Structure formats: structure tokens, C-alpha cells
Amino acid sequence: MPSFQRTSLIGRIAASKITLLLILSNIAVYLVIAYLDSRAFESLSQTSFLIDWGGNVPALTLSGEYWRLFTSMFLHIGWLHLAINMLALWSLGLILEARMRPLVFLGVYLLSGLCGSLVTALWHRDEFFLSCGASGAILGIFGAAVVYGLYDRSKGRPHVPPGNLLLSLVLTFGAGFAFDVDNAAHLGGLLAGALLAGIALYAERLRPLAAAVLLGMTGAAGTAALAAVALAHHDLNMQSQLTVARFERTLGNMGLLGSGRELWKASTIDECIQDALTDAASKGSQEPDLRHCAKSGDRDLALLGTFMPPRYQLCRAQAADLRKFFPGAAAQQALTAADQYCAIQSQLYAAIFQGGSAQLDVDKAREARLTMRFLLDQQRQYRTDSKALQAQAAAMQGMLRQVGELPAAIVARSGCPYWSCER
């Protein structure tokens, strides 16, 4: 069993490699993402910044984005939040890691943090809640320190200094008062850390091989239990609504849901495309003249050439995702129409901004564009006698109407994970 003796500060620091690694990792994450994304320093954009980089938003986490349970542990709301949490971790880690096996210390930190994140997700699943920070994991270390301290005191050996526990507690809960308090993560992390410390203390009585097996099984079982609970609470309905909400936002950016949500000047290019297709159809040509749609020197139009093509590709991916949730024939046909529309728009934008050929079936392109507008026409500006198209329009509009306030609010406040977006 490891001894716990008074040592010099340098010796204690040398024995705290995992603590130092965790602190450096948290600092490195903060510095790297702050360098890559300026929203880290913009108070009005900080919510979207934290969501996009992996903050724990229960509705997102429990709808399949389980990685947020882990990534949220390394995100912080500004340097003050980071500094307070790292000081708390330092005050405990410097003492406790010397008392525990290093890998056990790391396991307690990570499992406690994951448990805290999961408790938060379950507790706040029906509201728009954003959680991030290392405090759940730090409370796990705090719980472990209390258990070890009490055990060592009962054996008459030097124990974890109460001053370190008090300082860590003040710093951690002080961060909670300075920022929004996530009591669920604190409680989940605290209980998990105490439980894991009890198992680790029991393992100290065993032979090395038996102790290693017990600790390894505990880590595997703990991870499996967290995964099982998360999967058991998977919210398929929320996943469906979030997918629809993202699809709706993409359609809005493309100018298909009214002028108030489209990207700046997107309608200008779309009108030019429509005129070019009409002119080509009247001449019997299969290559519309789109050269004049992007005016030289117009920076706004040039930006559309960068931002719109990824949205059309996103539209196709989202339409494919929605097929899993809406298996009805009319809905499937409506999503096929959306995919065809976005594929044609991608071709047209490539011809406008990349100078490529826009050789396509002009009549088919015009029909796809008209069909998409009919499917999304809630003002009944278009008419058709086709029962099939009417059913598709009803399916498409019904799909968009099913989005609740929570998924709509989440999608409105978030973009997409930084590593998967072209910015």
C-alpha cells in the first residue's frame, strides 16, 4: 500500500504527474479553441461557441451526441472559470495523487466527470441547459479525498490536509457562484468519486494482481454502466425534432422559407438562376448562361459562392437523415425532391462561381425548383391537381411543423461542431 508521508513541495509536484497533465490539457484546450474561434471572447456568441465545441446540452447529448459527456469536461466559460477550476484541481491533486496510484487517480477523475455530465443531462433533459467545465470531475476528486482522509485518520496515519479540502471546496463552489451553478454535475461527480475511492481503498488490501484486476473491472464496469444508462435514455423523438429543425434552418438559409431567414443576397442569385433557366428553355438550350449572375467586385455575392455550396450539400445529408424518421411514401418522395433540388443548385452554383459547365436538363431543373417551392408553400401561392404532390406537400409541411420550442431554440443558438464546418 502506498505510504503517505510529508515530502518537499518539489517531491509532491514530481509525484503529481497526472494532475499536471490534466491541468495542462484543460489549459491547452482553452487556448487552442480560443485561437481558432474568436467567439470565445464574444459574450453574445459564447453560447453558440460552447455548444459547437462540445458543451453538454442535455437534449443534444441524449439524442445521440454522447461525446458531449466527455468534451464538456474540458470546456470553460472564460479564463476565470478555467483558473478557479484548475486551482481547485491543483490543491487536491497535489495531495491526493501522491496517496493513490496515478492511473487510479486518473480513472476517478474521468469517471467522476462523466458521471457528473450524465447526471446533468438526465436532470435537465427537458430544458435548454448548457453545462461545461471540470467541476464535476474535481468534485469526484474531492469526494475521493474525503474518503481517503477519513480512512487514514481512522488508522492514525497522516491524512489529506483539511485545508486543501476546504480550499478546493471554496474554489469549486465559488466558480458556481461566479457562473451558473450545475449542482447536478457536482453531486454526480462527488458521489462517484467517493464510491470509486472506497473500491480503490479495498483494492489496497489485495495482492497486486488481484488489485489490478479489481480496478480494471471497476473502470470497465463503470464505463459500461454510464453507457448503458445513456443509451437507455436515448431520446429518439428529440433526435428527430433536432434533425428537422436543422433541415428547416438550412432551407431558410437557402431562401425557401421567406426572405427573413435567407443568407444575404441569396435571392438575387436565385432570381438570376431562374431567368437563365427560363431563357435557356425558350431557346431549347441545355446550358443556361449564368456568367452574369456573379458580378465582378461584389463581395457579398462572392461570399455566397463560399457559403452556399456547403449548405446545399448539408441539405442533401439532412434529407438523407430524415428518411430514417419519416418512412411514409409521401414523406420519402418529398425528401427525394429536396435532394434533387439541392443537387441541381449545387451544379448551378459551381457553374456561377467556379466557371464550370452547367450542362443539365433545363426542364428537369425548372421542375425541381418549382416542386420544392410548392412543397414549402404555406401561403398557397401555387396550385396543382396532382394528388401525389399535394400529399408530398402535406408531409413536408407537417414534418416542419412538428418541431417543438426546445429543439428550435437549441438549433437557433448553435451552428455545427467546428471540425465539421467550413467557416
Active site residues: 135, 186
Contacts of 232 (CB under 8 A, 6+ apart): none
Phi, psi (deg, nearest 5) at residue 135: -65, -35
